[in-house]
Chain A
């Protein structure tokens, strides 16, 4: 089946291939993430802090793992020539990489997200925490998307590590800054869930940056592919 010149069946096959290659390691990360969430859920201060830290570290590592394996290793381990020997275009391989990259991160991410919502609402944890948690989660998703796009577009391994490190170090300043937002600071320890305009505009900014990163990468690759295709 094709759509706008893309072979959807081949794209699906390549995505499934990436999923199968890394599903075991991914299951390991997911188990770790669920452990961290259960620590948070006990409600004691020490386990809440330990669980929170573990959760952040594991989410960042999952991102590192996904990018390192499905994008960087495909080049480093010379499996890319094998993929390119299949009846696919370079553009379809790119689309498949992007989808696989998002999917492989989104699965554990969405599990964490939904479990967090359940946890905050169902346990004695203050419900106001939810807004703050969502801001931080989406910041992590944004970081992942930017790093993924850079990894797909830039072949240099040094640059990729640099970008991932830079994004990671921005996490804690962001958490402090988001925590100091007035509607967060006043509601985070209460049971009020308040989506103030301030919070919503931060969300909007996050979505915008993510969409921009994806759009720029797509544009870049379509152009690269058309250079290859044109005669």
Chain B
């Protein structure tokens, strides 16, 4: 459930509703407003802080991080989330690091290849 709050806040920031440096609702305000428990919002804010999206100053509430490149940071966060999901799956499959690298390389090449092919098609059209 806290994932929904994380998404909700990042969406607001990406859309420019909440600007860097601007104060965002307090945990209790957001909880009351979105009918979600305080503890859930607290956890979402912690997650957002860890990702560098918001900054919480004790006793003063939270603001949107004054980052020059927020969209990039958000994308980076997505990337890291995907990466750890991949590693967890690899763990379940009991893959050794070498075969993980191999798979990543293979995927990277075919992804690049597809990208290059698309570029080619773009040029000829």
Contact, chains A and B (beta carbon distance below 8 A) = no
Residues of B within 8 A of A (CB): none
Query: Chain A: residues with CB nearer than 8 A to chain B?
Result: none
